[in-house]
Amino acid sequence: MLITNNLDRFREAILALPLHRPLTKEELLVEPLLMERSGKVEMYYAPHNEYANPGAKVVIVGLTPGWSQMEIAIGEARTCLAEGLGDEEVCRRAKEAARFAGPMRSHLTGMLDELGLNRKLQLASCGELFDSGQTLLHTTSVLRYPVFVNQRNYNGTQPSLLAHPLLKREARLTVEEQLDYMREALIIPLGVSVENVLRQFAQEEKLEEERCLWGFPHPSGANGHRHRQFAEHYETMKERLNAYFISL
């Protein structure tokens, strides 16, 4: 299902982009695709987090789409629009192309398998969540649209997400518009920055803490501490995962 009709707002800007080649920052980080600006913080449009799967059993939550995800998502949307596909199909295909693409996906699914989530879901591997088992999965970000600071990927700390009016507003919208209506889903925040945001909303009773798998590291290869972080939280994550599935 589509969450918003924002694709219609940016349709002409996407259609004006070249087809069948990688897109550049000079082509995408431009005013026609800018959603909002607050000082050095800029939020641009990308279509993949417009599509939601309300029947998901697992919700994986990142911080914000980075440049690579934005480029893949808009490139796929450009192709789909040229094919004359409807908006929901455009956003769905953009999501499938862009979500956790590359080595990060194998890091992520490997850790989930080690925790035994695949067995809980009756899958051979959590890699199936991105393929034959994708009806079980919803992926999103606390900042659903790409955020850049000085044209660089936002890292969650500078500025502080919860202290910045624009960023906090966008994070609240994600919780209220996506996580709230997926009330049966297990929520997996990726990394400390995302976890801190969701813990804040859990304290405000906007989110059920029991559904959140706290302690999961960000699976990016740039996170050189992910193996240590995973090992440190392994037992508590395993216990929470077991308790969550027992409660269903």
Each domain of the chain, given as residue ranges in start order, spans 6-247
User: Does residue 94 contact residue 80 with C-beta atoms inside 8 Å?
Assistant: yes
Task: For the chain, 248 residues long, give each residue's pLDDT as a single digit of tens.
Answer: 998 899 999 999 999 999 999 999 999 999 999 999 999 999 999 999 999 998 999 999 999 999 999 999 999 999 999 999 999 999 999 999 999 877 889 999 999 999 999 999 999 999 999 999 999 999 999 999 999 999 999 999 899 999 999 999 999 998 888 887 787 899 999 999 999 999 999 999 888 999 999 999 999 888 899 999 999 999 999 999 999 998 87
Q: What is the pTM of this model?
A: 0.95
Secondary structure class of 156 (helix, strand, coil): coil
| Single-letter residue type at 241 | L
Residues in Cβ contact with 57 at an 8 Å cutoff, skipping those fewer than 6 apart = 121, 136, 137, 184, 185, 186
DSSP label of 3: S
Average pLDDT, the chain: 94
Residues in Cβ contact with 239 at an 8 Å cutoff, skipping those fewer than 6 apart = none
DSSP string, 203-221: HTTSS-GGGB-TTPPP--T
Residue 84 to residue 107: CA distance in whole angstroms: 35
Architecture of domain 6-247: 3-Layer(aba) Sandwich (3.40)
To 10 degrees, what angle do helices 67-82 and 87-98 make?
140
What is the pLDDT, as a whole number, of residue 103?
A: 85
Measured CA distances, 229 to 61, 108, 235, 237 (Å): 17, 13, 12, 11
Phi, psi dihedrals of residue 139, rounded to the nearest 5°: -115, 145
Residue 198 to residue 225: CA distance in whole angstroms: 21
Give the tens place of pLDDT for each residue, 191-248.
999 999 999 999 998 889 999 999 999 998 888 999 999 999 999 999 999 999 988 7
